[in-house]
Structure 1
Amino acid sequence: MNFVQPIRDPELIFYIKRFLREKSERNYMMFVTGINSGLRISDILSLRVRDAKRTYFNIFEIKTGKKKRIDMTPQLQREFKTYVEGKEDHEFLFKSREGLNQPISRSMAYKILNDAADYASLDDIGTHTLRKTFGYHFYKQTGDVAMLQKIFNHSDPAFTLRYIGIDQDAMNKAMKGFKI
């Protein structure tokens, strides 16, 4: 498995959002949900319409089996209000066109993100990019690695910083300033 990076540039996030929205509201909302919640793709794809009608997600993480409550950002709440209009509570939020009320697969989510990454000329993108992008920007805005560590359920703040690419930023900056 390749190591994926967060999307660091807010302008690229804007372009990707615009690209995805033009293609499909579902794909756009999957991306927006990921970068605004920090949820893993497996947890995002298991969400149903009823989950988006609250101001928070109340989930059992698929990877850990732990119950987790995550408040939605105001932006995500606004986006969902329109997106769930006319949908039934039991429907998956990110429905596949295949089968009856089935969510899209992880591989389809990857294809959607990879298509957007190609459009934006980004490398090292995968489904985990959504979670890492949330973490990167959360840390940049708050500077609170302890809170982010708790949100991600990580045991070590150094791991959290490495996970969201902060260590990579520091290495890149050091290399740019290096002279012999």
Structure 2
Amino acid sequence: MMNLIDNYKIINSETDTSIILLHSYGKTEKRKKDGNLKDTKCNKKEDESSEVFAFNTEEKIKSMMEVFNKHIAESRANTMEKRARRNKLVFLVGINIGIRAGDLIKLKWNFFIESLNSDGTVEKFKEYYDLKPEKQKKQNKFVRLHFNETVRRAINEYVENFPITNLEDYIFFATDNSNEHISYHALYEMLKKTAKEAGIKENIGTHSLRKTWGFWCWHKAMDKSKALTILQKCFNHSSVETTLKYIGLLDSEIKEMYNSIELGMEYI
């Protein structure tokens, strides 16, 4: 039996020195100079599944929304309500625009909004936004994103309660008095806790938001083959099979195939 930590090595860079711990179960943890875990991963435990699932039924989405609304209603202070509304907004935006969590947490108000009213509410939304995803910056590639009515309504609801003062501010703030965005790990923990409270049994993580968008794009499409081809391009996947698996369809298709075959039953 191998030890939990089989080996380690020091990696030097211009910005910092990190210790990468190589675990026997194939995962790594990156640490800063001070020994704290880096925020680039959600640092899953050994006994946790690495696969996360989409919110692939209306009931699951409704259950999540009920928990978010409950937290807003039960907020005892302005700061608590603001954070509860932020959590609801990041969920709704995440499942409706389908970008990676690393890009989602860095969104600013000017991503969506063209101009503001004098009271800090939205005067005009943008028709679309050309985003340069973090993972494609080296290729200088952009993705054009469009915003549906759900995103607009969710933003309007938020700013009616907490008006915008600066379009350059991060939407999903870390703390009320900071100009930093929510961390990847904080988003991960929030989604897992909310899903647990909502009674969702499947493993939920940050990828659940993007997977949910992909699943429902396919589910609502009239031409599902065409939808898969478009999703493959949106996700930058190497094959349709990868896209099928990513949005949680491959397993269900395999299960359906197994259940469709009953051989020898009449002879039992």
TM above 0.5, yes or no, is yes
Matched with 1:134 is 213
Matched with 1:41 is 101
Which segment drifts farther, 110-119 or 52-61? 52-61
1:110 to partner: Cα distance: 0.5
1:177 to partner: Cα distance: 4.8
* Cα contact 1:136–1:164 (8 A) shared by 2: yes
Could you tell me which amino acid in structure 1 is paired with residue 256 of structure 2? K
1:146 to partner: Cα distance: 1.0
Instruction: Tell me if 1:12 matches 2:87.
Output: no
Matched with 2:11 is none
1:35 to partner: Cα distance: 0.6
What's the CA shift string for 1:92-141, capped at 9, x where partnerless? 00001176211110010001100111112322211001000110111011
Which segment drifts farther, 93-102 or 140-149? 93-102
Matched with 1:116 is 194
1:174 to partner: Cα distance: 3.5
Greater RCO (Cα-Cα under 8 Å, separation 6 or more): 1
* Cα contact 2:60–2:200 (8 A) shared by 1: no
* Cα contact 1:49–1:89 (8 A) shared by 2: yes
Matched with 1:89 is 167
* Cα contact 1:6–1:133 (8 A) shared by 2: yes
Structure with a larger share of its residues in helix: 1
Assess, with a 3 A threshold, how the Cα gap between structure 1 residues 61 and 124 changes in structure 2: closer, same or farther.
Answer: same
Alignment of 1:99-178 (within 5 A): 100-119=178-197, 120-142=199-221, 143=224, 144-177=227-260
Gap regions ≥5 residues in structure 1 = none
Using the alignment, how far apart are the partners of 2:70 and 2:132 within structure 1? 32
Secondary structure at the counterpart of residue 143 of structure 2: strand
Instruction: Tell me if 1:73 matches 2:154.
Output: no
Secondary structure at the counterpart of residue 136 of structure 2: coil
Could you tell me which amino acid in structure 1 is paired with residue 61 of structure 2? I
- Of the three residues 119, 134, 144, the one matched with 1:62 is 134
Using the alignment, how far apart are the partners of 2:258 and 2:61 within structure 1? 25
Could you tell me which amino acid in structure 2 is paired with residue 19 of structure 1? V
Could you tell me which amino acid in structure 2 is paired with residue 58 of structure 1? D
What's the CA shift string for 1:134-156, capped at 9, x where partnerless? 10111011121111112222231
Structure with the greater alpha carbon radius of gyration: 2
* Cα contact 1:95–1:102 (8 A) shared by 2: yes
* Cα contact 1:45–1:104 (8 A) shared by 2: yes
* Cα contact 2:173–2:182 (8 A) shared by 1: yes
Which segment drifts farther, 87-96 or 61-70? 61-70
Structure 1 stretches of 4+ with a deviation exceeding 3 A read: 174-180
* Cα contact 1:16–1:116 (8 A) shared by 2: yes
Secondary structure at the counterpart of residue 231 of structure 2: helix
Could you tell me which amino acid in structure 2 is paired with residue 124 of structure 1? N
Using the alignment, how far apart are the partners of 1:32 and 1:122 within structure 2? 20
